[in-house]
Amino acid sequence: MLERLHGAKEVLRNRIVLVVDDDARNIFALTSLLENHEMEVISTTNGRQAIELIERTPALSLVLMDIMMPDMDGYETMHEIRKNPAFRTLPILALTAKAMKGDREKCLNAGASDYIAKPVNTDQLLSLMRLWLFR
């Protein structure tokens, strides 16, 4: 059991994660959580800059994408990211406070690998991240 837990921590260690959210409080909370798991966090508050950061960060492991952002929302951002064949398999987890029936499918259709509702359950988020990073 201890070996399995250690292995689960190892999956996250030294991974680079991009957090995209227009609310600085969410970026701070997620960054604190991920850095406590020895992950490197880069962040931005908008979709256009997210695309630029993804293109400039070849070692990027995973993206946490807010859906409800002004200008370019998470759906449009994910759709643009997926247009580039180099990023078709990059894990993107959609985070949304607008957890309504059909939202999961809408996120997946836009290019999300998976979906989690806000407020984020940190254990659930870390488990989902391990799942996508272990592949």
Q: 10-residue block means of pLDDT along the chain (135 residues)?
A: 52 96 96 96 97 97 96 96 97 87 91 94 95 89
Prediction pTM value = 0.92
Integer Cα distance of 33 and 41 in angstroms: 10
The partner residues of 115 in beta bridges, in order of sequence, read 94
Q: Which residues pair with 66 in a beta bridge?
A: 95
User: Using CA of residue 120, residue 114, residue 87, residue 73, what is the dihedral sign?
Assistant: negative
Instruction: List the one residue out of 55, 46, 39 whose CA is nearest residue 90.
Output: 55
Residue 120 has which token pair?
């984020």
